[in-house]
Each structure stands twice: as C-alpha cells, then as structure tokens.
Amino acid sequence: MKIKLTLIASLFFLINTTSSGQELSMFSGFWSMQYYQDNVRISKKDFRNYISQDSRAEALWKKSNTHLGLAWGAFGAQLGMLAWQIDRRNNFESQTAPLIGNLAFAVTSIYFALKSVNLRKEAVLSYNANLDKTTMIEYGTTPNGVGVLFSF
C-alpha cells in the first residue's frame, strides 16, 4: 500500500511540473566578454554548450565567428598597408595607394567586427526566445473526462 501511495504521490509531483530554462546574456568586460546565465557568471565553454543546444542560435554563433575572423584578417591587412604607407613616406614616394588600401581595410574590419557583435546578440536572443516555449504536463479534466493533459 505504501509503495502505491509513494508512486501516486511522485507521479502527481512529476505531472505538475513545467520545463523552463534560464536566459543567457553577455556583456563586454575589460579584457573580454563576460557570460551570464540569469545572474550567475558562467565560463565561455559553458556558454557555448548552451548555445549549441539550439540549432539556429548555433548557426548564428558560427557565422559570427566567421565574421570575427574576417575582421581580424582585414585588420592584419590594414596593418600591412600602414607599414607600406610609412615605408613610402620615409622614401618620399606617393602614399595614395597605401592610404586608400589602409582606409578600405579599416572600413572592412569595422564592418565585419560590428556584424559579428550583432550576430552574437541575435544568437543569444534566438536562444532565449526558445525558452519561452514551455511544455506543461498536468492532471486535469478534458472534454472526455479526467486525465493527464499535455499543453504547449
């Protein structure tokens, strides 16, 4: 009898639960990004594990990493153009071509860096939007009688 009562009580508590997750957020810190799950700071590895649970958020995060790589590549090219411009300046040669290249790579680097930040924010928002979709199992009445209800 006690086993049946225990099973019924545990089933009742399991049925009346809802599934929900905790929201993720990220803020820029002094040296790097800081990641939070609700108000608890988590590591970047944990943050990526949470993001990888949602396919759309993971795709946006990977696209963000690609854009960040392109931004760093354009920044490296900009530094090369700057060195070339300084070399031409010291030799009293025309600096027009290196200046145009320097400005073009600077604009490209800034564009991809900002695009990367926006994609990361969109990935976090996409992950958090999926948390609003909770599933609830409860015991209640239906048009056909009393039973277990599964609602979305």
- Number of residues written out for the chain: 152
Query: Does position 16 have pLDDT exceeding 70, yes or no?
Result: no
13 in a structural domain: no
Domain count, the chain: 1
Mean pLDDT over all residues of the chain?
82
In a domain, 21, yes or no: no
Q: Looking at the domain assignment, is residue 89 inside a domain?
A: yes
Mean pLDDT computed over 118-126:
92
Q: Is residue 6 part of a domain?
A: no
More confident residue, 14 or 49: 49
Q: What is the pLDDT of residues 84-97, one digit of tens each?
A: 999 999 999 998 99
Residue 26 near residue 20 (C-beta atoms within 8 A): no
Max avg pLDDT among 1-5, 6-10, 48-52, 77-81 = 77-81
Does residue 121 carry a pLDDT above 80?
yes
Q: Is residue 24 part of a domain?
A: no
Query: What percent of the chain is predicted at pLDDT more than 90?
Result: 44
Q: What is the mean pLDDT of residues 73-91?
A: 95
Kind plus residue range of the DSSP H or E element containing 55: helix 55-90
- Rounded percentage of the chain residues whose pLDDT exceeds 70: 72
Give domain status of residue 84, yes or no: yes
Angle value at C-alpha 75, between 70 and 79, nearest 5 degrees: 150
Cα(46)–Cα(42) distance, rounded to whole angstroms? Answer: 6
Residue 3 lies in a domain: no
pLDDT band at 25 (very low <50, low <70, confident <90, very high): confident
Which range, of 15-24, 78-87, 89-98, averages the lowest pLDDT? 15-24
Range of the domain at 123: 54-135+145-151
Whether the predicted model's global pTM rises above the 0.75 cut: no
Q: What tokens does 55 get? A: 């396919």
35, part of any domain: no
